[in-house]
Amino acid sequence: MVAAGLFLGLPCYPGRMLLTTLLVLALPQQTSPQQPGAAATRVTLTPMTAKPGENLPWSPKGAKVDLRRDGEALTGAFALGPTGPSGPKAVAVRLEHAASSTHFDVLSIDLDRDGKFGAEERLTTTAKDTRGKWWSSFDATVQVPFAADTKAEANQKATSVPYAMALWFVEDPKEPTAPPTLRWSRRGWFEGKAQIGGKDVFVLVSEMALDGVITAEDSWALATDRKLLLAAGPRDLAGHCWLEDRAYRATKIAANGLSLELVPFDPSTTEAEEKANADIYKPDREAKRAIQPLAFATDFAKAQAQAKKDKKRLVVDFATTWCGPCKLMDQFVYTAEDVVNAAKDVVCVKLDGDVERELVKRFAITAYPTMLLLEADGTEVRREVGYQSVAATVKFLAR
């Protein structure tokens, strides 16, 4: 996992570019018990919708809705909210063309889940050409109902929680037979403030699994003011957060996200020690730099011809301009002396996955970065997906 402010080295998946880089702070979580006799602090949380300039530095992977054709329209539905016999109905969606448009620019979404699309549930947009694909983006707010739960102190009454979401559909003229898919993500989080020891404490809870229900799989952050809160990296709700060199855990977390309790926690380490131990990029940042970074060709056919001529293997690095881990590898890995030396007996080519569509399909690339080691004839020897360290890359390049 990573230290504050660094990209998590998870692979990037094609989808919405804006938050695909996934800036995350997800340090290992200890399981030591909370401090005996420690008083709990209850925090009331409010659903927040992201305002311009307030996007969090992390994001869950976008969810998707598989669509089916209904004449000229596309229809589908997705679940959102508690499951079970009394759980809410699915959210139905329908994509259409406006009369004067050749692209899908009208989205009907069943916000009240009554099985009908009212006039206020009809959203319009203007499709935009981005890198040869047509993007249609929409914003909506769905109400997520929660039944009363008399067993849970944090959730006594039936509630309906507003769920602000962004939805987008991408048409690729080069892939006319691709299965149509609508993607979406949450546009907000839960936020609250309490006092501990006479000082304000700001709390934020955000989904990492897009299901409309807050669980230990989701994330949270603590800070001493709101600006720091929005810039903080998240921790799993099952783990602890630090506040002025003291650790806290969240307990009695309401499934509707409207409250939790904070209790002091002893992780048997300091915050500085924990961050240092979790900084997986430190060895790569401190690696000796090569005089020149690893040289990549950009034409696959020419690189393969060169590999055949020199009787060498071929390394193919599939990346994109929006991939955070790809940028980190350019910065830390491909500039390392050990990597440059290990690559002397191979031919290297870097390909933009958004441009080299046929090669992406040929090699079944589904996430970035993806590194392939090929024989000169194109036979795959091995592959790795996601950020690879200096040491891992040297091993990958070895015969």
User: Are residues 376 and 313 in contact, defined by beta-carbon separation less than 8 angstroms?
Assistant: yes
Q: Which two tokens stand for residue 202?
A: 């700001």
pLDDT tens per residue across span 293-352: 999 999 999 999 999 999 999 999 999 998 989 999 999 999 999 999 999 999 999 999
Query: Is residue 197 within a helix (H) or strand (E), and if so which, with residue range?
Result: none
For the chain, give the percent of residues with pLDDT over 90. 70
| Rounded average pLDDT over 271-291 | 91
What integer pLDDT is reported at residue 30 of this predicted model?
39
The active-site residue, picked from 12, 241, 326, 348, is 326
Q: Give residue 60's pLDDT band: very low, low, confident or very high (50, 70, 90).
A: confident
12, 241, 323, 348: the active-site residue: 323
Is the confidence at residue 120, as pLDDT, over 70?
yes
Residue 13: per-residue pLDDT:
65
Least confident interval from 21-30, 75-84, 241-250: 21-30
* C-beta of residue 203 within 8 angstroms of C-beta of residue 191: yes
Provide the pLDDT for residue 85: 63
What distances in angstroms separate CA 184 from CA 150, 168, 210, 344, one per listed residue? 33, 6, 9, 44
Extended strands (E) in 102-146: 104-109, 122-124, 128-130, 133-146
Residue 89 pLDDT class (50, 70, 90 cuts): confident
> 263 is written with which tokens?
């209790």
Residue 294 is which amino acid?
A: L
Give the best-scoring range by mean pLDDT among 50-64, 267-281, 337-351: 337-351
Give residue 233's pLDDT band: very low, low, confident or very high (50, 70, 90). confident
Pick 7 or 48 by higher pLDDT. Answer: 48
Residue 37 pLDDT grade (very low, low, confident, very high; cuts 50, 70, 90): low
Give the predicted TM-score (pTM) of the model.
0.77
* Helix intervals (H) in the chain: 226-231, 271-278, 282-285, 300-310, 324-328, 337-342, 357-362, 390-397
**Over the stretch 343-388, which tens digit does the pLDDT of each residue have?**
999 999 999 998 998 999 999 999 999 999 999 999 999 999 999 9
CA-based nearest residue to 338, from 279, 272, 391, 386:
391
Mean pLDDT of 269-282: 89
Asked if the 284-397 domain carries CATH number 3.40.30.10, the reply is: yes
pLDDT reported for residue 6: 38
Q: Where in the chain are the domains?
A: 1-280, 284-397
pLDDT at 162 over 70: yes
Examine the residue annotation and report whether 12 is marked as an active-site residue of this protein.
no
Task: Read off the tokens for 29.
Answer: 């979580």
Mean pLDDT within 99-104 = 89
285 pLDDT more than 90: yes
Mean of the pLDDT values across residues 206-229?
94
pLDDT reading at 150 higher than 80: no
- Give catalytic status of residue 348 as yes or no: no
